[in-house]
């Protein structure tokens, strides 16, 4: 491709409304343009990248025996009413009516459509297991679309659905998809981690998310340094191996005027934060209050807390007014000593001796508090987020926390949709059996943004070879003035094309600096420069996107050199 015949549309300045780096660079490099909130046009340059992501996914899904199909983006309301999700789904579901006043939605996902297709098409256990997938545009009417492609309303997704007669078969396909996803992400050339995830509202048992690692990621992931354990931070079990020491201090009440936060208290009393505990008050069932006790430096995990008996669902912190009314003091001075409401104590909080806590009286705290002596031995539970350095729940190694962007999710749906839509097959005994389903998604467009978040520098995007829109940039200096340069550039370009190299020749009549900047912004991994000066010495110049310096290459060696670079 020559730039003169391509729509190269770079911006020197960063559009003001782009917040995160991938959004900025995608706009600047001319990959996408915004049409409306959460809606983007993929320009030719961006589409090349998107197609690469797609084709890697397609190849590996095909290798795994999955069958591609394509379902409508617009779906009839009847199907959603049948599954019950027409009611369940909130305003994220974009609903619309046709000219006959029939109701439809723009699909945010395709479980209903695939299950409907399946029940019409597949009749016998002999046809199972089977795994269908599509790469289709989805729409979710997000409250607050932001971060460009990262959280757009319309996005491209690969979604696959497998059908089975039994759990073993489902598990087998699930494991196979796990493998396939690992291959796909390996081929993307991105740093990623599969993590155990909460299957949440979707239901089902096993669930793994695939995260592309990036400092700007929205999700925190805990992973072990010695095993392949990795989990969403909300899901990781917080282990406490620490044994509690014997009481060493007497219980005392101290005045702590205006000391409310844990940091203030620790500072005021000159004690480490890990010797403090905090007592959070949550809403329980029947307007009760429930106390949750954590070590001062730990964070409550609301998902874990919600599962405790007697806690109101959805989880909610109690109203400060109500707390004051019932407990007689303000938040900030609450402690478990003498507390009469149901109390849950986190494992780590339960393992401290001689601790400091609120005295249930404003501006007073207890010091030297000991479990089993000053208050009952607690039933300890896991209600906190894991932190860096915690022991790994699988007993191997310690946890580190990194940030990631969720781009893939696989889970077992079980019979949620197949029973709602009556997707059955005849089994070996000629009896009708409800199928079990698995569901496997990859955010295709999000992969593009995630790749940029993970890999960029001040000059622009740094693509892995597998996703780069072009592999090689040819930058001739004075292409339009020097016949020598034009000849050399055109010859080499033709040669590359013959060999099927994805090459972009910059034949615009620009100054070199402008061309260099554009090629770097776009993130083309390899660059060859032809100049009259070099050619007269039988040389040209090579620079990799991440190389500090360029190197001179003999023209005669150029083809082999480039071959080697591109295949490495």
User: Shortest distance, CB of residue 94 to RNA, whole angstroms?
Assistant: 14
477 binds RNA (CB under 7 A): yes
For the record, the structure tokens of 136 come out as 């289709």
| H helix or E strand, kind and range, residue 134 | strand 130-139
Do residues 299 and 262 lie in contact, with contact meaning Cβ atoms separated by under 8 Å? no
Options 59-67, 316-324, 386-394, 399-407: segment touching RNA (CB under 7 A): 316-324
Q: Which is nearer to RNA, 164 or 275 (CB)?
A: 275
Do residues 361 and 333 lie in contact, with contact meaning Cβ atoms separated by under 8 Å? yes
The count of C-alpha atoms lying within 13 angstroms of the C-alpha of 380, restricted to the half-sphere facing its C-beta, is: 18
Nearest to 543 by CA among 507, 516, 510, 504: 516
Integer-rounded Cα Rg, in Å, for the chain is: 30
Buried b (16+ CB within 10 A) or exposed e, 149-163: bbbbbbbbbbbbbbb
Q: What is the DSSP letter of 377?
A: P
User: Shortest distance, CB of residue 481 to RNA, whole angstroms?
Assistant: 5
481 binds RNA (CB under 7 A): yes
Q: Which is nearer to RNA, 314 or 430 (CB)?
A: 314
Nearest to 217 by CA among 209, 227, 207: 209
541 binds RNA (CB under 7 A): yes
The count of residues interacting with RNA (CB under 7 A) is 64
558 binds RNA (CB under 7 A): no
User: Shortest distance, CB of residue 336 to RNA, whole angstroms?
Assistant: 12
Applying CB under 7 A, which of residues 40, 80, 125, 147 lies at the interface with RNA?
147
Nearest to 188 by CA among 60, 100, 88: 60
Distance CA 187, CA 153 (A): 27
At 223, phi and psi to the nearest 5?
-140, 150
User: Shortest distance, CB of residue 433 to RNA, whole angstroms?
Assistant: 40
- 530 forms beta bridges with 476
Options 112-120, 221-229, 315-323, 491-499: segment touching RNA (CB under 7 A): 315-323
State the Cα torsion 393-399-404-409 to the nearest 10°: -20
141 binds RNA (CB under 7 A): no
Do residues 130 and 418 lie in contact, with contact meaning Cβ atoms separated by under 8 Å? no
User: Shortest distance, CB of residue 475 to RNA, whole angstroms?
Assistant: 8
Distance CA 330, CA 317 (A): 14
Applying CB under 7 A, which of residues 172, 216, 478, 495 lies at the interface with RNA?
478
Q: Which is nearer to RNA, 64 or 334 (CB)?
A: 334
Q: Which is nearer to RNA, 82 or 361 (CB)?
A: 361
543 binds RNA (CB under 7 A): yes
Site for RNA in 234-293 (CB under 7 A): 260-263, 278-281
Q: Which is nearer to RNA, 172 or 216 (CB)?
A: 216
Q: Is 60 in a helix, a strand, or coil?
A: helix
350 binds RNA (CB under 7 A): no
Options 130-138, 209-217, 338-346, 531-539: segment touching RNA (CB under 7 A): 531-539
419 binds RNA (CB under 7 A): no
User: Shortest distance, CB of residue 49 to RNA, whole angstroms?
Assistant: 18
301 binds RNA (CB under 7 A): yes
Options 59-67, 74-82, 92-100, 505-513: segment touching RNA (CB under 7 A): 505-513
Q: Which is nearer to RNA, 225 or 556 (CB)?
A: 556
Distance CA 17, CA 311 (A): 41
DSSP for 201-258 reads: GG--S-EEEEEEE-TT-SEEEEEESSSS-EEETTTS-----PPPPPP-S--EEEE-TT
Q: Is 514 in a helix, a strand, or coil?
A: helix
Q: Which is nearer to RNA, 15 or 559 (CB)?
A: 15
Q: Which is nearer to RNA, 19 or 556 (CB)?
A: 19
Instruction: Cis check for the bond before 314: say yes or no (omega within 30 of 0).
Output: yes
Applying CB under 7 A, which of residues 32, 418, 531, 558 lies at the interface with RNA?
531
User: Shortest distance, CB of residue 146 to RNA, whole angstroms?
Assistant: 4
For the record, the structure tokens of 25 come out as 């660079």
* Chain residues that interact with RNA, rule: CB under 7 A: 10-17, 19, 28, 36-37, 143-147, 260-263, 278-281, 296, 299-302, 317-318, 320, 323, 331-334, 358, 385, 459, 477-478, 480-481, 509-514, 516-518, 520-521, 529-531, 533-534, 541, 543, 550
């Amino acid at each position: 491709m020559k730039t003169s015949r391509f729509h190269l549309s770079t911006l020197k300045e960063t559009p003001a409304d782009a917040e995160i780096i991938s959004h900025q660079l995608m706009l600047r490099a001319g990959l996408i343009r915004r049409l409306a909130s959460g809606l983007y046009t993929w320009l030719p340059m961006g589409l090349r990248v998107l197609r690469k992501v797609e084709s890697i996914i397609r190849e590996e899904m095909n290798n795994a025996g999955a069958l591609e199909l394509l379902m409508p983006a617009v779906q009839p309301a009847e199907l959603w009413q049948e599954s019950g999700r027409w009611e369940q789904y909130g305003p994220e579901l974009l609903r619309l009516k046709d000219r006959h006043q029939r109701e439809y939605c723009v699909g945010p996902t395709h479980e209903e459509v695939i299950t409907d297709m399946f029940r019409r098409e597949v009749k016998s256990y002999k046809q199972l297991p089977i795994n269908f997938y599509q790469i289709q545009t989805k729409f979710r009417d997000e409250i607050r679309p932001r971060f460009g492609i990262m959280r757009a309303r319309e996005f491209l997704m690969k979604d696959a659905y497998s059908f089975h007669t039994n759990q073993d078969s489902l598990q087998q396909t699930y494991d196979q998809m796990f493998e396939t996803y690992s291959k796909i992400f390996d081929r993307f050339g991105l740093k990623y981690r599969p993590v155990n995830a909460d299957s949440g509202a979707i239901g089902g048992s096993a669930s793994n998310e695939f995260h592309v690692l990036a400092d700007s990621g929205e999700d925190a992931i805990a992973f072990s340094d010695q095993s392949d354990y990795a989990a969403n931070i909300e899901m990781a079990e917080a282990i406490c191996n620490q044994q509690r020491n014997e009481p060493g201090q007497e219980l005392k009440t101290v005045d702590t005027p205006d000391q409310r936060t844990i940091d203030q208290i620790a500072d005021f009393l000159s004690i480490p934060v890990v010797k403090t505990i905090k007592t959070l008050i949550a809403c329980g069932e029947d307007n009760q209050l429930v106390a949750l006790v954590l070590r001062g430096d730990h964070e409550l995990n609301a998902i874990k807390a919600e599962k405790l008996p007697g806690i109101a669902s959805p989880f909610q912190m109690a109203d400060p007014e109500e707390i004051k009314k019932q407990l007689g003091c303000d938040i900030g001075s609450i402690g478990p000593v003498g507390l009469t409401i149901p109390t849950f104590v986190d494992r780590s909080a339960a393992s401290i001796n001689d601790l400091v806590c609120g005295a249930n009286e404003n501006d007073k705290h207890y010091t030297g508090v000991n479990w089993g002596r000053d208050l009952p031995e607690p039933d300890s539970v896991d209600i906190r987020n894991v932190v860096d350095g915690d022991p790994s729940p699988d007993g191997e190694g310690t946890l580190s926390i990194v940030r990631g962007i969720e781009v893939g999710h696989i889970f077992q749906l079980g019979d949620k949709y197949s029973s709602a839509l009556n997707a059955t097959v005849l089994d070996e005994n000629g009896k009708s059996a409800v199928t079990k389903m698995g569901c496997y998604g990859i955010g295709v467009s999000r992969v593009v943004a995630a790749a940029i978040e993970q890999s960029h520098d001040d000059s622009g995007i740094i693509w892995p070879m597998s996703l780069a829109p072009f592999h090689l940039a040819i930058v001739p200096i004075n292409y339009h003035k020097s016949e020598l340069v034009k000849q050399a550039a055109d010859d080499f370009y033709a040669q590359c094309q013959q060999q099927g190299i994805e090459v972009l020749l910059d034949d615009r009549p620009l100054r070199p600096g402008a061309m260099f900047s554009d090629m770097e912004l776009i993130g083309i991994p390899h660059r060859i420069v032809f100049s009259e000066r070099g050619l007269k010495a039988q040389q040209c110049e090579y620079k990799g996107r991440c190389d500090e310096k360029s190197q001179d290459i003999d023209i005669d060696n150029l083809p082999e050199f480039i071959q080697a670079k591109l295949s490495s």
